[in-house]
Amino acid sequence: MRVVLQRVSRAEVRVDGRVVGRIGRGHMLLVGFAAGDGPDQIT
């Protein structure tokens, strides 16, 4: 699992070209899971 915390002036999430989430200034958390990741990797 990889996690990246990034400070942003604005950010949005798009699914199939449609905006499903948006924030102004704040923090964006990007999380990538791999096969075999489970609760032990999260805590």
Residue 14 in domain: yes
| Residue 42: inside a domain | no
- Decide: residue 16, CB within 10 A, 0-12 exposed, 13-18 middle, 19+ buried: exposed
Q: Does residue 8 form part of some domain?
A: yes
pTM above 0.85, yes or no: no
43 belongs to a structural domain: no
Containing domain of residue 12, as a range? 2-36
Whether the CB-CB separation of 27 and 10 falls below 8 Å is answered with no
24 domain-assigned: yes
Is 32 domain-assigned? yes
Q: Is 25 within a domain?
A: yes
Neighbour count for residue 11 (Cβ, 10 Å) = 15
pLDDT tens for each residue of the chain, 43 residues long? 899 999 999 999 999 999 999 999 999 999 999 998 888 887 7
Number of domains present in the structure of the chain: 1
Is 41 within the bounds of a domain?
A: no
